[in-house]
Amino acid sequence: MSAWRDLGEGAWVRQSRVVAMNSVVVAHDGWAVVVDPGVLPSELTEIAMQVAERAPRFEQVILALTHPHWDHVLGAPWFPAAHVVGHVGLAETLQDDAAKIAHEAEHEAAAAGEQYPSAFQPFAPTHAVRGTAGVAIGPIELIAHDTPGHSASHLAFWLPGARVLVAGDLLSDIEIPWLDAAPWVYRRTLTQLHWVLEQEDVRVMVPGHGSPAMGRVDAYRRLLRDLDYLLALEAGIATQRERGATLEEAQTALAVMDYLGKDDPHYSTRAIHSGNVAQAWETSDPTTV
Ligand SMILES: [Zn+2]
């Protein structure tokens, strides 16, 4: 069975065996955009073949990267001469985290009996964007949306040609929000995506991990669920602050919260939740309660 799922209108998605990460290919007229190719070397080769069939010329390939976390950034060597679209903060983070990314990648590849041809090398996008930015290269158009909360250098890509929204590590059906900033930053991003869902004709929304949402109603439900989780988390933190609890006590109290993937034996989100409690605690102001 092919690992590819045909999304129609020139778009395909492929899910990795590692952390159920999605790579998206959209092809048009001898050009292709590939978003977050990954994760294992054999999978990257398969993705490069899919791209080469549709866009045989290296310089007619656009590599779009949602954020600088290890599982999303390993594909660059498979697409030499590609135009690279990423956040203005991408290059610096890749530089800082290069050893960590290489270590994680090699660890996962070894577990799968594979090996990367060379160690991860940091790189810089040819098209570094911030805010809401339209990028047109050849016949391919994409709109990047700054979407911090999980990563400060996070972009979601709207591909109007195929009517596909590639959300990066947001709006998953197997993962709760994974915070790297105060919860309100993430909520602000969900508001931005809400705006995208209202303004654009979103046919498919592909998250970084899990299953695509078919249609905007499915995407909307995930957005509302994530918003609900964040509000409950923030309310819980405020209550614990009022009680004069320590972080440890807050962790115990908020461990009873109900959330997506809590009891999933294959993809448990308990560690993410516990990290979120710590993040929300550190970024909440004890003096305002
Ligand atoms: Zn991530």
CATH, residue 89: 3.60.15.10
The answer to whether residue 251 sits within a structural domain is no
Q: What percent of the chain has pLDDT over 90?
A: 95
pLDDT tens track for 164-184: 999 999 999 999 999 999 999
Q: How many Å apart are CA 68 and CA 105, to the nearest integer?
A: 13
Q: How far is the CA of 104 from the centre of ligand 1 (A)?
A: 13
pLDDT tens track for 45-60: 999 999 999 999 999 9
Structural domain including 68 reads 4-216
- pLDDT for 97 beyond 70: yes
How many independent structural domains does the chain possess?
1
The answer to whether residue 108 sits within a structural domain is yes
If you average pLDDT over residues 130-142, what whole number do you get? Answer: 96
Q: What is the pLDDT of residue 288?
A: 56
- pLDDT for 285 beyond 80: no
The answer to whether residue 270 sits within a structural domain is no
The token pair that represents 143 in the structure block: 């709109």
The answer to whether residue 254 sits within a structural domain is no
If you average pLDDT over residues 89-105, what whole number do you get? Answer: 98
- pLDDT for 82 beyond 90: yes
Q: How far is the CA of 189 from the centre of ligand 1 (A)?
A: 15
- pLDDT for 112 beyond 90: yes
- pLDDT for 278 beyond 70: yes
Sequence-distant (6+) residues with CB within 8 A of 46 are: 3, 14
In this prediction the pTM is: 0.96
Q: In this structure, what are the phi and psi dihedrals at residue 98, rounded to the nearest 5 degrees? A: -55, -45
Q: How far is the CA of 58 from the centre of ligand 1 (A)?
A: 27
The answer to whether residue 98 sits within a structural domain is yes
The answer to whether residue 85 sits within a structural domain is yes
Which amino acid appears at position 22 of this protein? N
The answer to whether residue 247 sits within a structural domain is no
The answer to whether residue 246 sits within a structural domain is no
The terminus-to-terminus CA distance of the chain in angstroms comes to 55
Q: How far is the CA of 66 from the centre of ligand 1 (A)?
A: 9
Instruction: State the average pLDDT for the chain.
Output: 96
- pLDDT for 1 beyond 60: no
Q: How far is the CA of 287 from the centre of ligand 1 (A)?
A: 31
Q: Are 53 and 32 in contact (CB under 8 A)?
A: no
Q: How many Å apart are CA 289 and CA 286, to the nearest integer?
A: 6
